[in-house]
Structure 1
Amino acid sequence: MNNEKVNSLQQARDKIDQIDVALIELIASRQFYVDQAMRHKQTVEDVQSPQRVKEVIEKVRTLALQHAVDPDMVERLYHDMIQHFIQRELKEFRP
Structure 2
Amino acid sequence: MDVHCQSLAEVRANIDRIDRQLVALLAERGAFVAQAARFKRNSEEVKAPQRVEQVIAKVRELAQALGANPDVVEPVYRSMIAAFIQAELAEHAALAQQPG
- TM-score, L = length of structure 1: 0.87
Q: Does the 8 Å CA contact 2:63/2:69 hold for their aligned counterparts?
A: yes
Structure 2 gaps, min length 5 = none
- 1:55-74 to 2 correspondences below 5 Å: 55-74=54-73
For 1:89, the equivalent position in structure 2 comes to: 88
Q: Give the length in aligned residue pairs.
A: 94
For 1:33, the equivalent position in structure 2 comes to: 32
Identity among equivalent pairs (%): 45
Cα deviation, residue 92, structure 1: 2.8
| Letter of the structure 1 residue corresponding to residue 86 of structure 2 | Q
Cα deviation, residue 8, structure 1: 2.5
Cα deviation, residue 4, structure 1: 2.6
- TM-score, L = length of structure 2: 0.84
Question: Whose helix proportion is higher, 1 or 2?
Answer: 2
Cα RMSD of the aligned pairs, angstroms, is: 1.5
For 1:49, the equivalent position in structure 2 comes to: 48
